Amino acid sequence: MLHPLSFILPPSSFNMRCMLKRMLAGLWRASPRALRRAGVWLVQPRFAVTAGAVVFDERGRVLLLRHVLRRGSGWGIPGGFLARGEQPEEAVRREVREETGLELERVELVFVRALGRVQQVEIIFRASMPSSAIEGLKKSFEIDRAEWFEAGALPFGLSEDQRRLISRALARG
């Protein structure tokens, strides 16, 4: 209902905002679903999603791969991007298989984090496999080496971020 003096007094900016919000909400509800989805898609940030695994053997050693394709290369945990429609655990199992030819045994979620500077969501798992599995290693073109390392003797060239990931996964064990 209009205020009796509304024809004399200019509408406040608060009232204008309220009216505008109501009008836009009505237009939004009246719009076709496809148009609403496209609108959301345009304004929401998009992230690449990756899955990685901190893989331990029966002695508590960590499997690290020396990656060729990653920026800065060097040692790191196995992992990579999720394919469209792929579940994170499926992705980490596939990535380990593609990079090494090896199969993970037990896989459990450790944590998920968003890396805003690169617009990436990273899903980290803790996994296990027997130490003897590395004998069946089939290196892909993505890696040039795979080794088991004691948690207290991680290699030179392993980034501080990767060290934190490993420590966090160890703490969950």
pLDDT in tens, the chain (173 residues): 555 545 555 556 667 777 888 888 888 788 888 888 888 777 777 788 999 999 999 999 999 998 887 666 689 999 999 999 999 999 999 999 998 888 998 999 999 998 877 788 999 999 998 888 777 777 778 888 888 999 899 998 888 989 999 999 888 76
Q: Under DSSP, is residue 150 helix (H, G, I), strand (E, B) or coil?
A: coil
Cα separation, 79 vs 86, whole angstroms: 14
The pTM assigned to this predicted structure is 0.74
Element (H, E) at 79: strand 79-81
Q: Under DSSP, is residue 17 helix (H, G, I), strand (E, B) or coil?
A: helix
Cα separation, 33 vs 35, whole angstroms: 5
pLDDT, position 3: 54
For residue 121, list its beta bridge partners: 49, 114
Where in the chain is CATH 3.90.79.10?
48-172
Q: Residue 95 has which token pair?
A: 């990535």
Q: Which one, of 159, 156, 130, lies nearest residue 59 by Cα? A: 130
Give just the sign of the alpha carbon dihedral 149, 64, 98, 115.
positive
Fold of domain 48-172: Nucleoside Triphosphate Pyrophosphohydrolase (3.90.79)
